[in-house]
C-alpha cells in the first residue's frame, strides 16, 4: 500500500528563516510525489512534483524538494520564508503509476512570524 506521512501538523518560522516541511512516503514501486499548497479559503494548487527525473525538484514561489529514496523522504524547503508563504501544505503520492489517484497526507500548516 502507498501512503504519505507529514511530520508536524503545524510549523512556525520567522520571516526570512528556513522553511522545512517533512514528508515521508511508503511505496512498493517508484513513486510519483507531489506538494500542494492551500491558501485560506481557496482550493489546492500544485507547488512541485517528482516523477523519476531529477531528484531535486524546483517549484513555484522559491520552494524546492529533494527525493531521497534511501530515506523514503520528499521534504519541502525554502531558504527564506515570506509572510505570503503562510498556508497549509499537503504532500501527496500517486497510486498505480502515472495514471493512478492521488493520496494526500494530513497537511502541515505553516505560520510565518514577522
Partner 1 sequence: EADIYQTPRYLVIGTGKKITLECSQTMGHDKMYWYQQDPGMELHLIHYSYGVNSTEKGDLSSESTVSRIRTEHFPLTLESARPSHTSQYLCASELAGANTGELFFGEGSRLTVL
Cβ at position 51, least distance to partner 1 in Å: 7
Instruction: Measure CA 92 to chain center.
Output: 7
19 or 90: CB nearest partner 1: 90
Q: What is the gyration radius of the CA atoms in the chain, in angstroms?
A: 13
Segment lying near partner 1 (by CB under 8 A), choices 12-20, 21-29, 56-64, 92-100 = 92-100
Give yes or no for residue 103 binding partner 1 (CB under 8 A).
Answer: yes
Nearest to 47 by CA among 70, 74, 26: 74
Nearest to 74 by CA among 87, 90, 97: 90
Instruction: Measure CA 26 to chain center.
Output: 15
Q: Per CB under 8 A, which of residues 10..69 are in contact with partner 1? A: 32, 34, 36, 41-46, 49, 51
Residues that bind partner 1 (CB under 8 A): 9, 32, 34, 36, 41-46, 49, 51, 90, 92, 94, 98-99, 101-107
Amino acid at each position: 500500500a502507498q501512503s504519505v506521512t507529514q511530520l508536524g501538523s503545524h510549523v512556525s518560522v520567522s520571516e526570512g528563516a528556513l522553511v522545512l516541511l517533512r514528508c515521508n512516503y511508503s511505496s512498493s514501486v517508484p513513486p510519483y510525489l507531489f506538494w500542494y499548497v492551500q491558501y485560506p479559503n481557496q482550493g489546492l494548487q500544485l507547488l512541485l512534483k517528482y516523477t523519476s527525473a531529477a531528484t531535486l525538484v524546483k517549484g513555484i514561489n522559491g520552494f524546492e524538494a529533494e527525493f531521497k529514496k534511501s530515506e523514503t523522504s520528499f521534504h519541502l524547503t525554502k531558504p527564506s520564508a515570506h509572510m505570503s508563504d503562510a498556508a497549509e501544505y499537503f504532500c501527496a503520492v500517486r497510486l498505480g503509476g502515472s495514471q493512478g489517484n492521488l493520496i494526500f497526507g494530513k497537511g502541515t500548516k505553516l505560520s510565518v512570524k514577522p
